[in-house]
Amino acid sequence: MDLDSLEKKIGVNFKNKLLLAQALVHRSYLNESKEFSESNERLEFLGDAVLSILTSEYLYKKFPKHPEGQLTNTRSVLVRGKTLAEVARSLSLGDFLLMSRGERESGGSQNSALLADATEALIGALYLDQGLETVREFLEKFLYSKDYEAIDFKSVAQELSQAKLKLSPKYKVIKAVGPDHNKIFTIGIYFGEDLAGTGEGKSKQEAEQAAAKVALEKLTKTM
């Protein structure tokens, strides 16, 4: 296993290389090799806790006017499996995972759930080897620097509006301009009959995300 190249991607030289290797061991690998006595699951458990506290701290400081509910919703999106799997993919973490031949042949190295677990295990290994500050720097580089790209604003808007307004947002196309191959959509997000924000995009999905982001920013200022 070429741990050096992974360390370069992460930007950290582990003092204990075995910790890094341990973070990459899927439970299926134990059936085929005696190289490791346990999988990465305990590191995953630790990494999950470290990720939660650091993400809570990050959002608390970044959004001083956000209410508790919105902070919770945003954190849940940042630390969910889909987002963590994208972090793993940005590091090509699947290429380094140790798993059984059957697991790999069935697509395990690109399985989002396995990648998300491996990301948490890596965070746990970083914490034990380097400490909290290095984990914070890792998250700022690979997760928080992309928070606005990673956050599914429609999901956050849905959760927040249901919790606070008892309403589900609705999206309507306000206009679409340009030729079919290069259309620009303007979409509005409505809470009940009230227009909460508009967004533009080259697809309806992109415009809906932009509209949801605007609506969340407005909600934050008024709540």
- Asked if 96 and 38 sit in the same domain, the reply is yes
Taking residue 165's Cβ as centre, other Cβ atoms within 10 Å add up to: 14
Which residues are annotated as part of the binding site? 44, 117, 120
Helices (H) and strands (E) in the chain, counts: 11, 3
pLDDT of residue 84: 93
- Asked if 158 and 129 sit in the same domain, the reply is no
CATH number of the domain where residue 158 is located: 3.30.160.20
Provide the residue count of the chain: 223
Name the pairing type of β-strands 194-201 and 184-191.
Answer: antiparallel
- Asked if 68 and 110 sit in the same domain, the reply is yes
133 is catalytic: no
- Asked if 136 and 189 sit in the same domain, the reply is no
Ranges of residues in the chain with a pLDDT under 50 are none
Of the listed 48, 103, 129, 208, which one is catalytic?
Answer: 48
pTM (2 d.p.): 0.71
Q: What's the gap between Cα 165 and its chain centre? A: 26
- Asked if 32 and 91 sit in the same domain, the reply is yes
Of the listed 32, 35, 68, 120, which one is catalytic?
Answer: 120
From 96, 123, 150, give the residue that closes a domain: 150
Q: Which residue type does 21 have?
A: A
Report d(CA 72, CA 74) in Å as an integer: 6
pLDDT of residue 68: 82
Contact between 45 and 118 under an 8 Å Cβ cutoff? The reply is: no
Give 3-state DSSP helix, strand, coil % of the chain, rounded to 5.
65, 10, 25
Which residues are annotated as part of the binding site for Mg(2+)? 44, 117, 120
Number of domains in the chain: 2
Across the chain, the runs of DSSP E, i.e. the strands, are 170-177, 184-191, 194-201
pLDDT of residue 72: 80
- Asked if 179 and 144 sit in the same domain, the reply is no
From 150, 175, 209, give the residue that closes a domain: 150
Report d(CA 168, CA 26) in Å as an integer: 39
pLDDT of residue 35: 86
- Asked if 16 and 117 sit in the same domain, the reply is yes
- Asked if 137 and 193 sit in the same domain, the reply is no
Report d(CA 34, CA 76) in Å as an integer: 37
pLDDT of residue 220: 59
The 10s digit of each residue's pLDDT in 172-221 is 999 999 998 899 999 999 998 999 999 999 999 999 999 998 888 777 55
- Asked if 79 and 157 sit in the same domain, the reply is no
- Asked if 108 and 203 sit in the same domain, the reply is no
48 is catalytic: yes
- Asked if 140 and 160 sit in the same domain, the reply is no
- Asked if 205 and 142 sit in the same domain, the reply is no
Question: Which residue, 34, 56, 29, is CA-closest to 121?
Answer: 29
From 150, 165, 199, give the residue that closes a domain: 150
User: Which residue range(s) make up the domain with 40?
Assistant: 3-150
CATH number of the domain where residue 23 is located: 1.10.1520.10
Contact between 212 and 169 under an 8 Å Cβ cutoff? The reply is: yes
